[in-house]
Amino acid sequence: MKDIDGEPMLAHVVKRVAQLGYPLVVAWPELEPEWDVLTRFVRVANRHPDVTRFIRVTADCPLWDAEVGRQVLAGWRHGYYGTCLSMDGLDTEVFDRETLMEADEAETGIKREHVTVWMRANRALREPYHLPGTYRWSVDDQTGLDFVRAVMAACEWCRRGTPHHQNSAGSIAGPGRTPRWDLHQVDEATNRGGLVECRAYDIRMAKVGGPVYNSLERGTT
C-alpha cells in the first residue's frame, strides 16, 4: 500500500494487468494466514468455478509490463508456464485449475507463500519465458521502493503503465518478441508513429545485472 506518485503500489499493478483485458481479482488474505498465498488463490478459484485458466501477477511489481504478460499468455498451452527467476519485477505465471488444485494438495509450509513452486517443478510446459539479463525491478525493501518512485518521476509513460515497444521475433536474443526498454509503444492517436522515448531508461538499467534474486531462499517474512 506504499504511495507511488499519489497511488498505492497495488493500484499501479492493477492498472497494468487490466491492459490484458481479462476479469481481474485481487487475492487478498481473509481467514488464512497472510503468508499462505496459495490458499488465497484456491479460494478465488472456488468462487469462480467457471474459470479454467488463471494468470498470476504479484503485487510487488509496479513496473510490470503488459507486453511481457501477453508473451507468456501466448506461450501457455496447459499445466504451468511463467517467467524465469531472473525477471524479478516482471513476474507472470499462467496455470489451469487442475494444476492449481494439485499444488494445493501437494504444497506445505514456506512453499505455499510462493504459490507455484510445485507447479514449476511438476507441471511446467517448457523452459520458463526469459529475457536477456537479470532484472531487479520488484519492490522488496526501501531501496526498491525508492527505485520505482524515481522511475515514475522521470518518465510519464512509465507512470501511466504504457507498455514498452516489442522487437519482432528473432531480432535480438531471447524467445518471441523482446522489449525495447528505451521505447514505449503508445497509441497512434497519441503520437504519430506510436513510439516515445522512455525517459527512465538509464534509471531502469541501473537495476539490471548481477545475481538472480530468489525470494524462496530468504524464507517467510
Instruction: Render pLDDT for 126-181 as a digit per residue (tens, 0 to 9).
Output: 899 999 899 999 999 999 999 999 999 999 999 999 999 987 554 444 456 789 99
- Out of 122, 151, 172, a domain closes at 122
Q: Are 36 and 112 in contact (CB under 8 A)?
A: yes
Q: Are 149 and 6 in contact (CB under 8 A)?
A: no
Residue 65 lies in a domain: yes
- Candidates 2, 140, 129, 163; CA nearest to 55 is 129
Domain span holding position 144 = 135-209
Q: Are 13 and 62 in contact (CB under 8 A)?
A: yes
∠ CA 144-159-132 to the nearest 5 degrees?
60
Determine the length of the chain: 221
φ/ψ (deg, to 5) at 2: -60, 145
The pLDDT of residue 220 is 42
Within a 10 A sphere around the Cβ of 172, how many other Cβ atoms? Answer: 10
- Clarify whether residues 94 and 10 are in a common domain: yes
Residue 221 lies in a domain: no
The pLDDT of residue 3 is 97
CA atoms of 171 and 47, how far apart (whole Å): 43
The pLDDT of residue 168 is 58
Task: Indicate left, alpha or beta for 79 from its phi (over 0: left) and psi (-120 to 50: alpha).
Answer: left
Tens digits of per-residue pLDDT, 10-65?
Answer: 999 999 999 999 999 999 999 999 999 999 999 999 999 999 999 999 999 999 99
Q: How many domains does the chain have?
A: 2
Residue 50 lies in a domain: yes
What does pTM read for this prediction? Answer: 0.90
What type of residue sits at position 26? Answer: V
What type of residue sits at position 108? Answer: T
Residue 216 lies in a domain: no
Q: Which three cell numbers stand for residue 143?
A: 531501496
CA atoms of 201 and 17, how far apart (whole Å): 21
Residue 129 lies in a domain: no
